[in-house]
Structure 1
Amino acid sequence: MTLLRKLHFVPLAAALAASACVPPPMAPVPPPQDNPGLVSAADPRAAEAGAQILRLGGSATDAAIATMLALTVVEPQSSGIGGGGFLVTGTAAGQVETIDGRETAPAAAGPQWFYKDGKPLTFPDVIPGGRSVGVPGNLRLAALAHNKHGKLAWRTLFQPAIRLARDGFAITPRMFASLGYATRTAAFDPAGRALFYGADGKPLPAGTLVKNPALAATFEMIAARGADAFYTGTNAETIAAKVGTAPFNPAPMTTADIAAYKAIERPPVCAPYRQYRVCGMGPPSSGATTVYAILKQLERFDMKALGPSNAVSWHLIAESQRLAYADRDQYLADSDFVSVPVTGLIDAAYLAARSKLISDSATMPTALPGTPPGATLAFAQAPQQEEHGTTHFVAVDSWGDAASYTSTVESAFGSGVMVGGYYLNNELTDFNIVPDKDGKPTANRVEAGKRPRSSMAPTLIYGPNGSLRLAIGAAGGATIPAQVAKAIIGVLDWNLSARDAIALPVLFAPGGDTVYVEQGTTLEAMITALQQLGHDKVVARPASFKANAIERIGGKWRGAADPRSEGAAVAP
């Protein structure tokens, strides 16, 4: 675990005192001091922002919001207030709630939203510009969560992010790499080019201090006036205008679309795995049902005895993924538009029947979707494109409450359209570009006001005694459920620390007959063994993974950040 207790930041109290327009925080109820909380995020400066809020007596939800805001500044390639997310919160007593802050399609959207001259556009061509932008959800999510679980004043949560944007932050090696491969979106908008590129058109080198005064001003406005300042008035008018007049893929989005956005409390998806209780985010996320199916279908196998060094373990994981992803591609979509059989997809008897399709010595010729209780096969099966613009972060507080939050702008730097110092998402590309298949509509087709299917899987796991054991999530598009399930198996079945479980190589078997293994790892060395078990198409590919977690061991919190990333865990 990378644990940072003190970084070189201006103390928050000093920042508050220096800002005459920002009053000091409300005095919260003092937390217990015997078990300080923790924050884990993909950037240490964002984790420190959350830890500062914990030091002031903030809740895990307060800390998660501050972390999300800071990531808007220091990790704009992955998430921010121009995107959306899912939040899973849990109390020390095990009460779990979830909030859906997924972006929505504008009222003008329809099934052929990504068509031109009667033909579908290619996936790369629909990303930049206005047509891919959904109405952002992160700030409505944050406001709803803060109203329910916040302990500090709303404006206090913005101060670390305001300071980072105003005073400057250094470009990291990972961000520099993103600026290089994602120039089409990062430099799409003149404001983005001015921030992150030099006069020669090349990305500013790693270590360059960047100041974003426009974003600092946006934050100050929202801190003072609340989330309505984002969804109405000048900010909303600017979003609608820039989406509608984008130099590439302009599309109709109105201020009414933006003002109408609502974050939604959804029922959590909770079910048992061995002696544990696994809780996650339901539709429009496919995360919870897919993660749980992967786990539950493996429950009859002795994963502990097999261990992480055995090719049979990874063969079983691959087979379980193939079944889980087949169901995901068939059934998961926005449950406000499509009947999603969530209860059936996590039904113990159904998953036991699916598990019987898995052999420890052979490979299924084809992994087909099943028919869970309550399901209809009215829709065609359709997979989802991968993305590279997501981040996950977790926070726990002194009261033992937890927040697991996955946030995204979809592709790196989203659509490339920038408003007020932040990038707008390209989340609508998470819909199926082609709305039907084999003469049947797909569940995840574009519709007005609909939220695209997501792979994000913020997860909380409670132990046999009812206390929180693990809070976890990941980034990496469709690989997210595979990453999260693998890490959970590592912690619960293989008795690894959360960090070591996250560091395990990733195997990804998304429903078809191809198995992808992480290049340069022990899994690549197992390709022959996997082929002998029947996996004919095993492909090694470079890693593009990023996970964060907090676990409870011996009555203490321990943070974990993916060693492939620049992430860190920070204590208050």
Structure 2
Amino acid sequence: MTPDNIFSRQRLARAIAFSTCAGMTLWLSGVAVAQDGFHYSAPAVAPESGSGYEEKPGWTTSTFAVAAANPLATDAGYQVLKAGGSAIDAAIAVQMVLTLVEPQSSGIGGGAFLMLFDGDQVHAYDGREKAPMGAGEDLFLDQEGNPLDFTAAVESGRAVGVPGTIKMLEAAHQAYGKLAWKDLFEPAITLATEGFPVSPRLYQSLVSTPSLAEDAIARHYYFDDAGNPLAAGTVLKNPALAEILTRISEEGSAAFYQGDIAEDLVARVQGHESPGSMTLDDLSSYEAVERDALCTPWREYKVCGFPPPSSGHLTMMQTLGIMAALPEVEVPVHDGVPTVDWLHPFLEASRLAFADRGRYIGDPDFVEAPGGDWNTMLAPDYLASRAALVSEQSMGSGGAKPGNPGEVQTAWASQPNQPEHGTSHISIIDADGQAIAMTTTIEQAFGSRIMANGGSELAGGYLLNNEMTDFSFTAQDEQGNPIANRVEPGKRPRSSMSPTLVFDNASGDLVASLGSPGGAAIIHYTGEAMDAMLHWGLSPQEALNLPHAVTLGDKVYLEEGRFPQSTINDLEGLGHDVETQELVSGLQALRVTEEGIQGGADPRREGIVMGD
């Protein structure tokens, strides 16, 4: 497809330069709105240079906006919105491009949670992966009954859950799409066919994941003949993925969940040296679920997030709700850094919220909510009782215990902490006022490190998730009490993804869309950004620029190089065990204001915001 063909009927051309990562200028040019439907124009992209942190300018648009983790993906969503597409139309185009250009984080081989505001109601679409019916409580135990090494579990066929992203997006599009399903795949198919430059982040991910080269398809595609990762700026084509996406665009989700593409996926899982049990029946029987969104009053807002199997909304709103029950912090931020006066209660509230998370939250088809309603965990009286446990000194490692938000039929055991990684976030507001917040994942970098290609002889393909390692490796505690998030056939693993839509409590008007990748730290990243943006009065970009602080109940991790030593000393003086390390979020945020839509993209990643 050439530019002349794209613009043969009606041409609307534009050229915008965005400075994102150091040394990168992205020239996005040409979106065509044709009388016979949407047509995509591939932008010309100058190679990016790598950077761990680069200030972003922040953006303001008047009518619509899209924020995503890669400029090519953002541009695809922009072109769809420019052509009159809806927020879900744009999200589909963005996700398909991310499958190609950010394969380490999300893709059609994984799952996603989608919050969608249709202008009147909020919908929660669950595309979370499911355990194959052959998976049991011993999935990640060795012959002696001991948990497997985590990396060994990740890099295996048994780590692969039944993917849900395609089915979920199809269901949402059938309800709220405006453009043809087939057209929304054109950006990714075009880029996969004509090529795209390997970004610095993709290159660094390849360098950091040498085990990916043990997969024959991935080694042939992502590494040169000497076994070195393809350098940033290398133009990479993915004809196998183009073939698969073309099939899905023409035949719908059935092309992925049945037939030769499904057969190849199952063969890759079952044929691994550490095989999984996934079958064709597991794939063909997968269904996306529309759940009731959890909408929680918070200050002057109503915050709508995803219910279980996500722990994100419950844990984030417990944290912020506990803080709201404590005395107001007069100076939450100073010189662009959260103050100890804010950090200490935030960390202590997080400890308490994560203690409840580890005890109660799991797939609602298998795990009953305390008191029969997940909102018991967010009841004002319960949060006030939890806030009363926060003192001037830290509870320290292991000091926070689960509370009793409501009666439960089963005496659940607390799940030990396990690593969580990966993921990407998309926020979109369209010209009609519809909005989405979608967090999408294959879990670790490059998922299970297994690449599928639909049985094609062409180069490339897509990565399979390792979402099964989000389950607890052990099924019970030493007393024999079951863990809510244990492996069971057909169950969806607990997630931390926190796609969030915020509304004004009085008017009901949409206020914001936001979310982040980052494993369990998603909860901290999103909660901090929302508090800063809507309570402290920072712009979306200012909120996303803030340094991070995280605890899962034990150590406190501060973003390396971003906090003054005095802050570290003061936290340690309050009893926190502090360690600094890289904390790579990938926040995207859009806020509706009287001046227009303000947008922010995380300076730790390659994303940008676009709109008109």
- Give the alignment's TM-score, normalised by structure 1: 0.93
Displacement of 1:90 = 1.3
**How far 1:118 sits from its partner (Å)?**
2.8
Q: 1:524 to 1:388 in 2, by over 3 A?
A: farther
1:303 shift after superposition: 4.4
Once the 2 structures are TM-superposed, how far is the Cα of residue 376 of structure 1 from its aligned partner? 4.9
Percent identity (aligned): 41
Q: 1:326 Cα shift?
A: 0.6
Compared CA separation, residues 391 and 414, structure 1 to 2 (3 A): same
Which residue of structure 1 aligns with residue 435 of structure 2?
402
Secondary structure of the structure 2 residue equivalent to 1:306: coil
Matched, 1:59 2:77: no
Deviates most, 295-304 or 315-324: 295-304
Q: Provide the C-alpha distance between the structure 1 equivalents of 2:33 and 2:431, rounded to a whole number of angstroms.
A: 20
Q: Name the SS for the 1:382 alignment partner.
A: coil
1:489 match: secondary structure = helix
**Among 403, 410, 417, the residue aligned to 1:370:** 403
Matches within 5 A, 1:200-219: 200-219=226-245
What does residue range 515-554 of structure 1 map to in structure 2 within 5 Å?
A: 515-522=556-563, 525-535=566-576, 537-554=577-594
Preserved contact between residue 516 and residue 540 of structure 1 (Cα < 8 Å): yes
Contact 2:112–2:128 (Cα < 8 Å) also in 1: yes
- CA gap of 1:338–1:3, structure 2 versus 1, over 3 A, is farther
- Deviation of residue 497 (structure 1)? 0.8
Query: Would you say 1:493 and 2:535 are equivalent positions?
Result: yes
Q: Which residue of 1 aligns with 2:297?
A: 272
DSSP-derived class of the 1:389 partner: coil
Q: Give the aligned partner of residue 199 of structure 1.
A: 225
**Change in 2 beyond 3 A, CA 1:251/1:9:** farther
Root-mean-square deviation (CA, aligned residues, Å) is: 2.0
SS at match of 2:113: strand
Query: How many Å apart are 1:11 and its aligned residue?
Result: 4.2
The alpha-carbon distance between structure 1 residues 375 and 555, as it changes in their structure 2 partners (threshold 3 A), is farther
Deviations 1:105-130 (A, max 9, x none): 11110000112313321111111131
Secondary structure of 2:95's partner?
helix
Instruction: Give the whole-Å Cα distance in 2 for the aligned partners of 1:383 and 1:453.
Output: 13
Mapping 1:173-322, distance limit 5 Å: 173-185=200-212, 187-246=213-272, 248-301=273-326, 303=328, 305-309=330-334, 310-322=339-351
Residue of structure 2 in register with 1:116 after alignment: 142
Alignment of 1:55-94 (within 5 A): 55-93=82-120
**Equivalent position SS for 1:546:** coil
147, 167, 191: which one aligns with 1:140: 167
Output one character per residue of 1:164-216: Cα deviation in whole Å (capped at 9) or x when no partner: 1111111111111100111213x232221122111110101100000000001
Segments of 5+ residues of structure 1 without an aligned counterpart are 18-22, 27-33
What residue identity is the alignment partner of 2:424?
T
Q: What is the aligned partner in structure 1 of residue 468 from structure 2? A: 428
In the alignment, what sits opposite 1:31?
Answer: none
Q: Which of these residues, 402, 412, 423, is aligned with residue 390 of structure 1?
A: 423
Deviations 1:19-38 (A, max 9, x none): xxxx8459xxxxxxx94211
Q: 1:2 to 1:562 in 2, by over 3 A?
A: farther
Partner of 1:30: none
Shift in Å at residue 498 of structure 1? 1.1
SS in 1 for 2:516: strand
- Give the residue type in structure 2 aligned to 1:362: Q
For 1:357 and 1:401, the matched residues in 2 are separated by 40
In structure 2, the partner of 1:336 is 365
Distance 1:12 1:419, change over 3 A: farther
Which residue, 436, 448, 455 being the options, matches 2:496?
Answer: 455
Q: How far does residue 447 in structure 1 lie from its aligned partner after superposition?
A: 0.6
Give the whole-Å Cα distance in 2 for the aligned partners of 1:507 and 1:208. 35
How far apart are the structure 2 equivalents of 1:260 and 1:116?
29
Contact 1:517/1:523, CA 8 A, preserved across alignment: no
Judged with a 3 Å threshold, the aligned counterparts in structure 2 of structure 1 residues 165 and 523 are, in CA distance, closer, same or farther, namely farther
Cα distance in 1 for partners of 2:329, 2:123 equals 31
> Residue 480 in 1 paired to residue 522 in 2?
yes
SS in structure 1 at match of 2:85: coil
Shift of 1:276: 0.6
Cα 1:524–1:451, aligned 2, differ >3 Å: closer, same or farther?
farther
SS in 2 for 1:278: strand
Q: State the shift of 1:363 in Å.
A: 2.0
CA distance in structure 1 between the partners assigned to 2:606 and 2:200 by the alignment: 9
Q: 2:184 aligned with 1:157, yes or no?
A: yes
CA distance in 2, matches of 1:63, 1:470: 17
- Specify the code of the residue in structure 1 equivalent to 2:248: I
Shift of 1:91: 3.4
> Deviation of residue 251 (structure 1)?
1.8
Determine the C-alpha separation between the residues in 2 that align with 1:234 and 1:10.
36
Q: How far apart are residue 13 of structure 1 and its match?
A: 5.8
Match of 1:442 among 477, 483, 500: 483
Contact kept, 8 Å, 1:546 with 1:562, in 2: the verdict is yes
What does residue 568 of structure 1 align with?
608
Hey, what's the Cα distance between the residues in 1 that align with 2:288 and 2:38?
Answer: 25
| Residue type at the aligned position of 1:548 | Q
Q: Is the 8 A contact 1:303 1:313 kept in 2?
A: no
Distance in 1 between residues matched to 2:19 and 2:171, nearest whole Å: 30
> Residue 524 of structure 1 contacts residue 540 of structure 1 at CA under 8 Å; is this kept in 2?
no
Aligned equivalents of 1:473 and 1:24: distance in 2? 31
Separation (CA, whole Å) in 2 of partners of 1:387 and 1:546: 14
Give a deviation string over 1:56-84, Cα, whole Å, max 9, x none: 11111111111111100000000000000
Aligned mates of 1:183, 1:448 — CA distance in 2: 32
Residue 415 (1) aligns with residue 448 (2): yes
Q: State the AA in 1 paired with 2:444.
A: S
Code of the aligned partner of 2:538: L
Contact 1:2 1:561 (C-alpha < 8 Å) held by counterparts:
no
Q: Number of residue pairs matched?
A: 552
Q: In terms of mean alpha carbon deviation, does 51-60 or 115-124 score higher?
A: 115-124
Matched, 1:101 2:127: yes
